[in-house]
Amino acid sequence: MRWILAPLVAGTAAIGAAPSVWAHAFLDHASPAVGSSVPASPPVVTLWFTQDLEPAFSSVTVTNEAGQRVDLGKAQIPQGSPDELQIKLKPLTPGTYLVGWHVVSVDTHPTEGTFTFDVKP
């Protein structure tokens, strides 16, 4: 079993030494949180990614259960936060909302995803 343990220990050490950026941009967390319920209409949806984003090729949409857009246009990357994507929302009525995102990391890898959140009555 020593043959197995050596590379495992080396690999575990490499995890600790790894830089804190990702090549593919994965969704790290969001506000409202993925799958969460919020008590009132949030003014914006904010997504934090594991890699800096290329703004020209990164987008977010928010739709209601009828498939209608409830966001206010183009997603923005706040200055000084290149791994963050925000989109403003219209006032939301209680219901379930679908967030769809498509981003390109600064090293050209595209990724995409969806999640929902609920606005409680």
Partner 1 sequence: MFRSYTDARARFALAAALTALPAGSPLAHGFAGQRFFPATILTDDPFVADEMSLPQVSVNPPVPDGSRETDFQIDLSKRITPDTDVTIRDQWQRLKPAGLPAVTGLGALQTGAQYQLFVNGPHEALGLVGLNVSWAHTGRVQALGAPDFTTLSPTFDFGKGLGDLPRSLPYLRPFAVTGNLGFDFPTKVESAGAPNPNNFNYGFAFEYSLPYLQCCVKDIGLREPFNRLIPLVEVAFTTPINRVPASQTIGTIQPGVIWAGQYFQIGAEAILPATRVTGHGYGGVVQFHVYLDDLFPHSIGRPISEWW
Interface contacts to partner 1, rule CB under 8 A: 1, 3-4, 6-8, 10-12, 14-15, 18-19, 21-24, 26-27, 29-30, 33-36, 50-51, 54-57, 76-79, 82, 86, 104, 107-116
Q: How far apart are CA 77 and CA 105, in angstroms?
A: 13
Nearer to partner 1, 91 or 112 (CB): 112
Give the SS3 label for residue 100.
Answer: strand
Q: Which C-beta is closer to partner 1: that of 69 or that of 74?
A: 74
Structure tokens at 117: 């959140």
Chain position carrying tokens 């890898």: 109
From the CB of 5, what's the least distance to partner 1, in Å? 8
Q: In what order do the strands lie in the sheet with 37-38?
A: 37-38, 110-119, 95-104, 59-63
> Which residue number, 1 or 121, has a Cβ lying nearer to partner 1?
1
